Amino acid sequence: MTAFSLDPEQTAWCTELRTLAEERLRPLAEKGEPGRVNRPLVAALGELGLLDRLFAGEGAGGPAAEQGALGLCLLRESLAYACTEAETALALQGLGAHPVAAYGSARQREQWLAPARAGRAVAAFALSEPGAGSDAAALALRAEPDGVSSWRLTGEKCWISNAPEADFYTVFARTTPGAGARGVTAFLVPADRAGLTGTHLDMLSPHPIGALAFDGVRVTGDDMLGEPDRGFRVAMTTLNRFRPSVGAFAVGMAAAALDATLAHTAQRDAFGAKLKDLQAVAHQVAEMATRTEAARLMVHAAAAAYDRGEPDIARRAAMAKLIATETAQYVVDAAVQLHGARALQRGHLLEHLYREVRAPRIYEGASEVQRTIIARELYSAEADGAQPATSQPATPESATPESATPESATPEEPSA
């Protein structure tokens, strides 16, 4: 397979996923309370085997079309097209549970990863704080020693998806004051630990999210994910793993908005013809389609490059997330315009997408942070005397897999 077209199995899987999302997941999403964790939906994602796809390479098995970063992008794009709530529920399980899959002990994996994969336990990723968002290394939640191999967590986390309803949290805490990214440790904290409380936050999008307060929450070495003071790497590995697929979520929304617009403008009467017969309208639709396709290609190419172990993943993933999330905003806004007032009525698909599409430009690295990463990678390649990264596409033959792993993220990278 090249990065520029999907094979028949991949295309068939996308079609199957859209149907599954329409028929099995959308009805559950519609029954859920907006802005709250929808446990029946998470359970259904588990029963359908879709959560397993988040942990490909972790014994997930299954057809090749469904594997790897590209498989994850196809999954997220297809779910987003048909049911954004299902897509979000799936992605949040991935963010919260990936650190356990990648760094957890056998006990942690059995106790928490297995039920998270099955959709029976809800996971959350707790990095951001009121004073540390893009600059995640500035996080201040303290882990103070409390005996041998034991700490007390004190502080706050903010805008944590699935909080406060999750069953467990991957929490990033400061174990070495003043050490920046190198003084952070990751802990798996069950939701029922004494001293942990949370509140809901109401957002523009119907997104389950909240704030957490830690008042001397006790954790031990058994709760640690990875090594002491190496928790920032756990966070970056997780964010890097999912970055291209945030772009896929955006592409799915753009594609849904585009298809709705094609259908609407083809049947809407205006000035003695249909809306599509107005050249300004047709050109706008052409622009939307072209930008969506360009974004999709960049997302697929970044994911396929990740799967091939090519170098330059950081730049490609950042470009993919940037172009896709910005494009989706443009396309959904244009779709609203071409639908007129009906698009702004509560319950209309575009009203829903208009609220959903805004957040991905901020979370998992705001667009400006992606530009910072892209520029840094370009200048660092230039300083190394490498071919300009944009003038020569990397080939599988020239790839050095070791350099492409998520571990290559520098701890200083602002990525949350």
Binding footprint of ligand FAD on the chain (CB under 6 A) = 95, 125-128, 133-134, 159-161, 203, 207, 209, 359, 362-363, 366, 368-369, 372, 414, 416
Q: Which is nearer to ligand FAD, 71 or 96 (CB)?
A: 96
Amino acid code (one letter) for 44: A
Q: Which is nearer to ligand FAD, 78 or 93 (CB)?
A: 93
Which residues, 6+ apart, have CB-to-CB distance to 7 below 8 Å? Answer: 1, 65
Q: Which is nearer to ligand FAD, 151 or 172 (CB)?
A: 172
Instruction: Provide the minimum distance between the beta carbon of 351 and ligand FAD in the complex, in angstroms, as a whole number.
Output: 17
Contact, 330 vs 291, CB < 8 A? yes
Instruction: Provide the minimum distance between the beta carbon of 115 and ligand FAD in the complex, in angstroms, as a whole number.
Output: 19
Instruction: Provide the minimum distance between the beta carbon of 162 and ligand FAD in the complex, in angstroms, as a whole number.
Output: 7
Tokens of 39: 């446990």
Instruction: Provide the minimum distance between the beta carbon of 117 and ligand FAD in the complex, in angstroms, as a whole number.
Output: 18
Q: Which residue's beta carbon is nearest to the bound ligand FAD?
A: 133
- Please, which residues bridge with residue 269 across strands? 274
Q: Which residues of 253-272 are buried (b: 16+ CB within 10 A; e: fewer)?
A: bbbbbbebbbebbeebeeee
Tokens of 176: 């070495």
Q: Where are the alpha helices (DSSP H) in 109-168?
A: 114-118
Pairing of strands 168-174, 123-126: parallel
Q: How far apart are CA 404 and CA 362, in angstroms?
A: 25
Give me the phi and psi of 382, to 5 degrees please. -65, -40
Which residues carry out catalysis? 364
Q: Which is nearer to ligand FAD, 203 or 289 (CB)?
A: 203
Q: How far apart are CA 301 and CA 298, in angstroms?
A: 5
Instruction: Provide the minimum distance between the beta carbon of 265 and ligand FAD in the complex, in angstroms, as a whole number.
Output: 31
Q: Which is nearer to ligand FAD, 125 or 151 (CB)?
A: 125
